[in-house]
């Protein structure tokens, strides 16, 4: 039973016809492992554009970002930050692309690549919709600052940059600290660094870890998460989905897998429920690494990346 017209509500923030713009981001500079830059290529080769067309969307895709043109030849660490200038330049370019798509009335679907890219995608969203909220689905909070990071990998820090936490780094001055702590909610967390736990508490950031998913079930968790960031369901939603939120048995081919994650259905349920709000205006599918694990695991992870995207774009089970 469908109580409301999804067709109508799903276009609340979009002009006709419904159009998705795929932003392929073959980028791995926010972490150390090889292969995550091949994620977007694998997702597109698996047929994601046509799958989205079959859901009734117009799909725009004119090739992956050519980050080779963005070079930061001399890119020594800044403090602990690894590849800082490269990550900054790439994210700035992605931010402009995502912002332009939203301005054109298209829903940007960004395919990563590592999760540092969300510094770009969410900046692009906030350029057009300053009131937007973020649903961040991840095993990790990715909210280390340049001071708290242990790894130096910037994919563990994008939320801190978006919120303006930590010291000012001139190389990242284009990232405007516009994401307020009340406009982001996490689902799926289970591997936080000590500094990240402190940051979440100090900033009173709402987070539903796997403990809350176990306690309440995914249905209640998503409802409570949306009630927090979007109580009247009238704010645009940016959904940033790191596939490592899923259990490694569901999405094995990712750089930082953590056991005890979301089931296949829990992950898809989140996407379906966000779509049903009619408020989705941007989507990220991040951290698919098609060079980690065996062929079967790789294909399984690519297929899951595609089906998460389809669920967020309106695919239903009935």
Ligand X SMILES: NC(=[NH2+])NCCC[C@H](N)C(=O)O
155 noted as active-site residue: yes
Question: According to CB under 5 A, which one of 37, 75, 196, 244 is a site residue for Mn ion?
Answer: 244
28/115 with CB nearer ligand X? 115
Q: How many CB atoms lie within 10 A of CB 266?
A: 23
244 touches 251 (CB < 8 A) = yes
Residues within the interface to ligand X (CB under 6 A): 115, 140, 142, 144, 149, 151, 153, 155-156, 193, 242, 244, 256, 287
- Cβ proximity to ligand X: between 258 and 282 the closer is 258
**Region at 203 (left for phi over 0; alpha for psi -120 to 50; beta for the rest):** alpha
**Cα separation of 137 and 244, whole Å?**
9
From 101, 155, 228, 238, the catalytic residue: 155
Residue 160 near Mn ion by CB under 5 A: no
Q: Using omega within 30 degrees of 0 as the cis cutoff, is the peptide bond preceding 17 cis? A: yes
Tokens (6 digits) for 259: 């056991």
242 in contact with Mn ion (CB under 5 A): yes
* Three-class secondary structure of residue 275 per DSSP: helix
- Taking alpha carbons only, the member of 260, 244, 259, 232 closest to residue 292 is 244
Q: How far is the CB of 256 from ligand X (least distance, A)?
A: 4
86: how many CB neighbours lie within 10 A of its CB? 20
Give least dist CB 153 to ligand X, A: 4
CB of residue 235 vs Mn ion: minimum separation in angstroms? Answer: 22
Determine which one of 115, 228, 238, 268 is catalytic. 115
Nearest-approach distance from CB 277 to ligand X, in angstroms: 25
Choosing from 242, 272, 276, 315, the catalytic residue is 242
What is the Cα–Cα distance from 68 to 66, expressed in whole angstroms? 5
Active site residues: 115, 138, 140, 142, 155, 242, 244, 287
Binding site for Mn ion (CB under 5 A): 115, 138-140, 142, 242, 244
């Amino acid at each position: 039973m469908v109580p409301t017209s999804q067709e109508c509500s799903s276009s609340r923030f979009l002009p006709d016809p419904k159009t998705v713009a795929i932003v392929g981001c073959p980028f791995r500079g926010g972490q150390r492992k090889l292969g995550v830059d091949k994620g977007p290529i694998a997702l597109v080769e698996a047929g994601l554009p046509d799958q989205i067309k079959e859901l009734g969307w117009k799909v725009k895709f004119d090739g992956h970002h050519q980050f080779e043109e963005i070079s930061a030849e001399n890119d020594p660490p800044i403090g602990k930050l690894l590849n800082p200038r490269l990550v900054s330049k790439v994210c700035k370019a992605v931010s402009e692309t995502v912002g332009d798509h939203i301005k054109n009335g298209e829903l940007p679907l960004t395919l990563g690549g590592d999760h540092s890219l969300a510094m770009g995608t969410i900046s692009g969203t906030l350029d057009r919709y300053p009131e937007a909220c973020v649903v961040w689905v991840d095993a990790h909070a990715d909210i280390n600052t340049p001071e708290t990071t242990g790894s130096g990998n910037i994919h563990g820090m994008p939320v801190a940059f978006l919120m303006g936490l930590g010291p000012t780094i001139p190389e990242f001055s284009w990232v405007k600290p516009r994401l307020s702590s009340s406009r982001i909610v996490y689902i799926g967390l289970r591997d936080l660094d000590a500094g990240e736990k402190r940051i979440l508490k100090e900033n009173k950031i709402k987070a539903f870890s796997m403990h809350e998913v176990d306690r309440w079930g995914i249905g209640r968790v998503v409802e409570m998460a949306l009630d927090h960031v979007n109580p009247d369901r009238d704010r645009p939603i940016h959904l940033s989905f790191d596939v490592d939120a899923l259990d490694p048995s569901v999405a094995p081919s990712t750089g930082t897998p953590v056991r005890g994650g979301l089931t296949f259905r829990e992950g898809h349920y989140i996407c379906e429920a966000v779509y049903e709000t009619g408020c989705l205006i941007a989507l990220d599918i991040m951290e698919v690494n098609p060079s980690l694990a065996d062929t079967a695991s790789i294909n399984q992870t690519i297929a899951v990346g595609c089906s998460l995207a389809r669920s967020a774009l309106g695919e239903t089970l009935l």
